[in-house]
Amino acid sequence: MGWIRSPVALGRRLRPLGPLTYRIVAPRDVVFGIVSSPYLDRTPEALTSKLEVLERGEDMVLAAHYTRVRGFTVTTVETVRFEPPSVVHFRLVRGPVPHVVEQFVLDERDGGTELEYRGELGTDFWALGAGWGALVARRWELAVRTSLDAVKAEAERRTR
């Protein structure tokens, strides 16, 4: 994950995102389908205020994510690449920091799925950037937790 490309990259500081691990009582292909379908298929109407696919390919999309933070909508643009049925890769193209790479790794475990989220967030400008990165990382991980809670609930609902 550590490859960095930035026009600035002065005083680059990296910090981990996650890991967050979810035990989901559903088959891995169901979980992978729930994660990938809003990107690879038609985005459901309920998600259009949070997600817009800007460009769609066979195994990769360019997507804008919209997140409400303190009354404002923050837009991030990421590439999302899929390795069915086990990995989803995210790479930040535009957002509040110059560098974010993330993965959802799905493993079959005891008739269900273990989904692990991990990544790294990078900021520039030494301590000043690191302080900003700490604020962004808290919000970023909260948004990921919210999404993964919804994935878990939907996968388990479909499996019942």
Q: What is the pLDDT of residue 70?
A: 83
Torsion of CA 74, 78, 83, 86, to 10 degrees: -30
C-alpha span between 55 and 19 (Å, rounded): 29
Please give the structure tokens belonging to residue 144.
């990921």
Confidence of residue 1 (pLDDT cuts 50, 70, 90): low
User: What's the pTM?
Assistant: 0.92
Q: What is the pLDDT of residue 64?
A: 98
DSSP state, residue 48: T
The per-residue pLDDT for range 70-84, each reduced to its tens digit, is 889 999 999 999 999
Q: What is the pLDDT of residue 9?
A: 82
**pLDDT surpassing 70 at residue 160:** yes
Q: Are 64 and 77 in contact (CB under 8 A)?
A: yes
| Structural domains of the chain ordered from first start | 13-159 (3.30.530.20)
Q: What is the mean pLDDT of residues 42-69?
A: 94
Tell which residue, 95, 100, 113, has the closest CA to residue 31: 113
pLDDT interval class at 5 (50, 70, 90):
low
Question: Which pLDDT score is estimated for 68?
Answer: 84
